[in-house]
A = this chain, B = another copy of it.
Amino acid sequence: MTEHRLLPYRDELMPARIADSSLTPAGDPGEAARLRQWLAELGERSFTRARRIPLEEMTGWHTDPATGDLRHDSGKFFTVEGLDVHMPDGPVTRWSQPIINQPEVGILGILAKEIDGVLRFLIQAKAEPGNCNGLQLAPTVQATRSNYTRVHGGKAVPYLEYFQRSGGHRVIADVRQSEQGSWFQHKRNRNMVVEVTGDVPVLDGFRWMTLGEIHRSFRVDNMVTMDARTVLSCLPFAAPGLADRQTGPRDDFRSALLRSCRPEKGSLHTTGEILSWITESRTGRDVWTRRIPLRQVRSWQRVDGRISHVNGLYFDVIGLDVVAAGREVAHWRQPAIEPHGVGVVAFLARVFDGVLHVLVNARAEPGFVDAVELAPTVQCIPQNFDPLPPDRRPRFLDDVLAARSDRIRFDTELSEEGGRFHRARNRYLVVETDVDAAGDLPDFRWMTLHQLVDLLRHSHYLNVQARSLVACLHSLTSA
Contact = CB atoms under 8 A, between A and B. Distances in A.
A279 B175 contact: yes
B11 A272 contact: yes
Interface in A1-28: 1-11
A271 B4 contact: no
Contacts of A105: 283
Interface string A251-269: 0000000000001111111
A174 B172 CA distance: 29
A11 B270 contact: yes
A10 B263 CA distance: 9
A12 to B, nearest CB: 12
B279 A174 contact: yes
A352 B4 contact: yes
B434 A1 contact: yes
A273 interface: yes
Interface range on chain A (Cβ under 8 Å from partner): 35 or more
A282 B9 contact: no
Question: Of residues A268, A275, A279, A436, which shows the largest number of chain B Cβ atoms within 10 Å of its Cβ?
Answer: A279
A7 B176 contact: no
Contacts of A276: 166, 171, 174
A173 B271 CA distance: 11
Contact of A1 (B174, B282, B351): B351
A306 interface: no
A246 to B, nearest CB: 22
Contacts of A264: 9
A470 interface: no
Contacts of A353: 3-6
A355 interface: yes
A73 interface: no
Contact of A7 (B190, B269, B279, B282): B269
Given A174-B276, A351-B1, A9 B267 contact: yes
A351 B283 CA distance: 39
Contacts of A5: 353
A46 to B, nearest CB: 29
Interface in A279-297: 279-280, 282-283
A1 to B, nearest CB: 7
A457 interface: yes
A94 interface: no
Contacts of A331: none
A351 B282 CA distance: 39
Nearest to A8: B266
Given A280-B174, A353-B3, A436-B2, A271 B9 contact: yes
Contacts of A166: 276, 280
Given A275-B457, A457-B275, A268 B4 contact: yes
B9 A263 contact: yes
23 contacts: A1-B434, A3-B353, A5-B353, A6-B355, A7-B266, A7-B267, A7-B270, A9-B263, A9-B266, A9-B267, A9-B270, A11-B270, A105-B283, A171-B273, A171-B276, A174-B272, A174-B276, A174-B279, A175-B275, A175-B279, A176-B282, A190-B279, A275-B458
Closest A-B pairs by Cβ, 6 of them = A6-B266, A174-B276, A9-B263, A4-B352, A171-B276, A174-B279
